[in-house]
């Protein structure tokens, strides 16, 4: 394909039209000139497609994948996502997310890999290689310093040059160097006072200049804030379409000499290069018009089950209570709402409607049934932030054919005239940021949502409505709520602050119809509403669960934070579990001395009850194979392979960003500088609950014969080989993560006590020994000198630390770098 020839045949107006999207997901096409429209899709843990109505594979989220420390697995995950992306007729996937876990409260931590830039970058590179090896473009995001959700569309991340280079840019650099992602997404926030999507330093000077990145740079949705500044800095594509800052504004800027036509040509060429690399020039006109498909690939099930299990981290195992021997158990108490209604993903743009979800309760029952083990369930606590929406299993069909909530669309903002289109949604959540029915203007329409459900008991119910904009709610035709709330820019509408509730008395076994009339009168990112129904509150719910626990041989307590607590669009307000979950754990532990906690969250939680339970498994957001993966670990069908990719502190006040989060007066100061995560806890000698890299196994390992040897040295690089033998000294097959940290013993500038610079995951049978070999290059020894504006690795002595975690040092080796090296990148 001669891209230059295509560009030369386009008029200036046609070229400029390609610099902004056509609609929410797709670019503009010029078919008469041979330029097709190419489609993007969210996101990092599943290819959702244009709407939430088509099912997709739901993968473990980023933090769970980060906990695997498994590069080969991440490549495999990329391949699965490539297959899924094709079923949605897209060729650009909006992932991976490689922002840093700067604060434990960041709402999007679950989507990102780690607090450590090296781990994040290596895993992202593998993910990208897997994806692009199947000709699907990866979009690494969000560039850069989008490490919180509070005021994300306006906050300025104030960062020193050293911290920017060594921590926040590093995952992007590693991924670009090792996998060349074809697309990159800018972030909403400002970096040192200038928006990331037009930032002269990060986008133009570093990305396009020093790194010579020539891939397609895409704005986050509604994350473009200027015309010539953004175009000249290197932002190629404004999304979504039709765009606010391109087209006529760009044409005028070219005519006035503020943007060169050559710059426009470069952006167009980058877009066309993505089409060429993905094979889209050949496929587009046959594929694009076909419906999106939901194809549940059986071969994916085991991959996703294994990925989820490999990410789960066993943090406590008193008296080797795990794994459970089902043949020696007569009864199991399964406590907690998340055991029955699994917490498998976080909230926001990475959400998908999964092909299926296996609950922990289902999986435990599968294992218990052949042994006639009694399994008793109790909810134990309420965990919701919003009034729970009506899921598929609670909705009654409206026409006998389609399940879910019916949405009727009108082409005006007052529900007048004929219904122009009707769609069904699987639950009582209507979220529109996608493809609208034909004839409906996404910026100006109204709709009516209708759903039916059966009240299971007599009593006082709480009905909730969340809506982005004006809405009225009716129950059996009677108006019960009216609201019109403005949504904070950058926020999602599904937060407690945006909810109105009313209490009404319902009768058991009666069917009720809830209707919402909703209006959209202007263009905005957040569009939609959610209907919630909460049954009468049981004040004795904790006490009743404890009674169930008391009667069982083993009590498994499931806790967590779902998408209402961890999501794009807002940050957490505390590290605590929601509702009465802490009380529930303590009550069950008091009732049963063999209590094990399984927690699903995307970030660390406080654990005031840790000394009272026998076991604790951190299961993250593990995707659609949630229940199977958890059961595999609990019952020993798989070794817990995960290691913490982020430190679990004892309390919020101990964390690095505590005094500088979430910022004030439009700025958040990254006052901790380089000292993020374990780097900070090492520097301040602060005790933590569980350190970075930590995780227990069901077997034991012995390290021996560690060596460090320089393999090669050139004028501007060095290659150092670290080897160690690892032996499985236990009786079970297991997985170990060997970690290599580097400490500069005498640096000119302040440096962390140690930094992760290598890791390897190995699988060992009982008695088996394997040699692990990890190669370090100049970057392992270097730091950024903001005075000389270069990276530098100083001659002198270094400690090469072989470890099981950032706190569990196995052996300290020594290496001497014989000469100083300097480089830009």
- Per-residue model confidence as pLDDT tens digits over 725-771: 999 999 999 999 999 999 999 999 999 999 999 999 999 999 999 99
Task: Give the DSSP per-residue string, 178-222.
Answer: HH--SEEEE-SSEETTEEGGG-IIIIIIIIIIIS---SEEEPPTT
- Express each pLDDT in 88-109 by its tens digit: 999 999 999 999 999 999 999 9
CB half-sphere exposure, 524, CA atoms < 13 A = 21
DSSP reduced 3-state for 427: coil
Whether residue 128 is contained in a domain is answered as: no
pLDDT at 525 over 70: no
- Sign of the Cα torsion 59, 63, 66, 68 reads negative
Q: Which two tokens stand for residue 275?
A: 């089409």
DSSP reduced 3-state for 517: strand
CB 123 within 8 A of CB 65: yes
Ramachandran bin of 84, using left for φ above 0, alpha for ψ from -120 to 50, beta for the remaining angles: alpha
- Express each pLDDT in 569-607 by its tens digit: 999 999 999 999 999 999 999 999 999 999 999 999 999
When computed from its CA atoms, the radius of gyration of the chain, rounded to whole angstroms, is 27
pLDDT at 568 over 90: yes
Whether residue 683 is contained in a domain is answered as: no
Whether residue 539 is contained in a domain is answered as: no
Give the rounded distance of the alpha carbon of 446 from its chain centre: 32
150: CB partners within 8 A, 6+ apart: 570, 571, 662, 663
pLDDT at 400 over 70: no
Domain end position, chosen among 230, 260, 277: 277
- Express each pLDDT in 701-719 by its tens digit: 999 999 999 988 888 899 9
CATH code of 745's domain: 2.60.40.10
Residues classed as catalytic: 220
CB half-sphere exposure, 289, CA atoms < 13 A = 4
Whether residue 643 is contained in a domain is answered as: no
Whether residue 438 is contained in a domain is answered as: yes
- Residue 503: domain span: 392-534
Mean pLDDT of 249-255: 98
- Determine the length of the chain: 825
CB 242 within 8 A of CB 21: yes
- Express each pLDDT in 661-700 by its tens digit: 999 999 999 999 999 999 999 999 999 999 999 999 999 9
Whether residue 582 is contained in a domain is answered as: no
Mean pLDDT of 541-555: 98
C-alpha span between 340 and 704 (Å, rounded): 45
Domain end position, chosen among 534, 560, 586: 534
Number of domains in the chain: 3
pLDDT at 61 over 90: yes
Domain end position, chosen among 231, 251, 277: 277
Give the angle subtended at the CA of 521 by the CAs of 516 and 522, to the nearest 5°: 130
Strand 821-823 versus strand 790-793 pairing type: antiparallel
Whether residue 332 is contained in a domain is answered as: no
What's the pLDDT score for residue 43?
Answer: 87
CB 513 within 8 A of CB 475: yes
Backbone angles phi, psi at 745, to 5 degrees: -75, -25
Confidence bin at 489 (pLDDT 50/70/90): low
**527 and 398 housed in the same domain:** yes
Whether residue 107 is contained in a domain is answered as: no
């Amino acid at each position: 394909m001669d891209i230059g020839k295509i560009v030369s045949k386009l008029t200036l107006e046609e070229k400029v039209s390609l610099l902004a999207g056509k609609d929410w997901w797709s670019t503009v096409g010029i078919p008469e000139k041979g330029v097709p429209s190419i489609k993007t899709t969210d996101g990092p843990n599943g290819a959702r497609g244009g709407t939430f109505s088509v099912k997709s594979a739901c993968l473990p989220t980023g933090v769970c994948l980060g906990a695997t420390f498994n590069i080969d697995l991440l490549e495999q995950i990329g391949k699965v996502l490539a297959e899924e992306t094709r079923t949605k007729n897209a060729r650009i996937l909006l992932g991976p997310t490689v922002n840093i876990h700067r604060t434990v409260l960041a709402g999007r931590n679950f989507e990102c890999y780690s607090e450590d830039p090296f781990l994040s970058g290596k895993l992202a590179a593998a993910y990208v290689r897997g994806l692009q090896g199947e000709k699907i473009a990866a979009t690494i995001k969000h560039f850069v310093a989008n490490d919180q959700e509070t005021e994300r569309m306006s906050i300025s991340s104030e960062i020193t040059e050293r911290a920017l280079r060594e921590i926040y840019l590093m995952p992007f650099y590693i991924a670009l160097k090792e996998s060349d992602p074809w697309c990159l997404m800018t972030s909403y926030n400002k970096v040192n006072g200038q928006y990331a999507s037009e930032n002269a330093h990060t986008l133009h000077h570093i990305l396009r200049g020093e790194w010579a990145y020539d891939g397609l740079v895409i704005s986050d949705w509604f994350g473009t804030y200027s015309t010539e500044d953004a175009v000249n800095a290197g932002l190629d594509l404004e999304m979504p379409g039709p765009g606010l800052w391109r087209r006529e504004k760009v044409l005028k800027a070219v005519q006035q000499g503020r943007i060169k036509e050559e710059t426009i040509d470069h952006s167009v060429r980058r877009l066309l290069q993505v089409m060429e690399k993905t094979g889209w020039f050949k496929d587009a006109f046959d594929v694009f018009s076909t419906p999106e498909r939901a194809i549940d690939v059986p071969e994916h099930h085991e991959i996703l089950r294994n990925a989820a299990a490999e990410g789960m981290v066993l943090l406590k195992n008193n008296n080797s209570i795990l794994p459970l021997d089902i043949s020696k158990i007569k009864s199991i108490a399964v406590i907690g709402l998340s055991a029955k209604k699994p917490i498998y993903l976080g909230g926001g743009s990475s959400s998908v409607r999964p092909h299926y979800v296996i609950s922990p309760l289902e999986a435990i029952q599968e294992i218990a049934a052949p042994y006639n083990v009694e399994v008793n369930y109790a909810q134990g606590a309420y965990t919701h932030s919003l009034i729970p929406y009506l899921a598929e299993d609670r909705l009654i069909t409206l026409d006998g054919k389609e399940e879910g909530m019916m949405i009727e669309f009108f082409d005006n903002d007052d529900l007048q005239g004929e219904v122009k289109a009707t769609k069904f949604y699987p639950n009582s959540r209507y979220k529109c940021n996608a493809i609208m029915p034909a004839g409906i203007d996404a910026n100006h329409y109204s709709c009516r949502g209708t759903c039916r459900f059966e009240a299971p008991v007599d009593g006082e119910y709480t009905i909730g409505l969340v809506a982005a904009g004006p809405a009225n709610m009716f129950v059996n035709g009677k108006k019960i709520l009216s609201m019109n709330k403005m949504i904070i820019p950058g926020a999602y509408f599904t937060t407690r602050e945006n909810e109105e509730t009313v209490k009404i008395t319902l009768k058991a076994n009666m069917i009720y119809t809830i209707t919402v009339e909703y209006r959209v009168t202007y263009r905005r990112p957040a569009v939609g509403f959610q209907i919630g129904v909460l049954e009468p509150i049981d004040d004795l719910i904790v006490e009743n669960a404890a009674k169930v626990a008391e009667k069982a041989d083993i009590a498994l307590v499931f806790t967590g934070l779902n998408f209402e607590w961890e999501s794009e669009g807002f940050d957490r307000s505390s590290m605590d579990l929601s509702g009465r979950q802490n009380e529930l754990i303590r009550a069950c532990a008091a009732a049963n001395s063999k209590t094990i906690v399984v927690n699903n969250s995307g970030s660390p939680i406080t654990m005031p009850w840790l000394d009272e339970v026998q076991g604790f498994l951190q299961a993250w957001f593990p995707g659609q194979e949630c229940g199977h993966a958890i059961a595999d670990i609990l019952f020993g069908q798989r070794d817990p392979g995960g290691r913490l990719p982020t430190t679990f502190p004892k309390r919020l006040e101990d964390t690095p960003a505590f005094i500088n989060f979430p910022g004030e007066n439009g700025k958040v100061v990254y006052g901790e500088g380089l000292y993020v995560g374990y780097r900070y806890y090492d520097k301040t000698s602060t005790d933590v609950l569980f350190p970075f890299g930590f995780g227990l196994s069901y077997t034991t390992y012995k390290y021996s014969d560690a060596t460090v040897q320089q393999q090669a040295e050139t004028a501007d690089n060095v290659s150092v080989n670290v080897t160690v033998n690892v032996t499985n000294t236990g009786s079970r097959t297991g997985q170990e993560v060997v970690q290599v940290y580097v400490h500069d013993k005498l640096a000119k500038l302040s440096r962390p006590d140690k930094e992760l610079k290598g890791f390897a995951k190995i699988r060992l049978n009982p008695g088996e020994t394997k040699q692990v070999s990890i190669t370090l290059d100049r970057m392992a020894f270097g730091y950024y000198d903001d005075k000389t504006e270069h990276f530098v690795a100083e001659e002198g002595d270094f400690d090469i630390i072989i470890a099981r975690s950032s706190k569990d040092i196995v052996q300290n080796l020594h290496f001497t770098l014989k000469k100083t090296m300097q480089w830009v990148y």
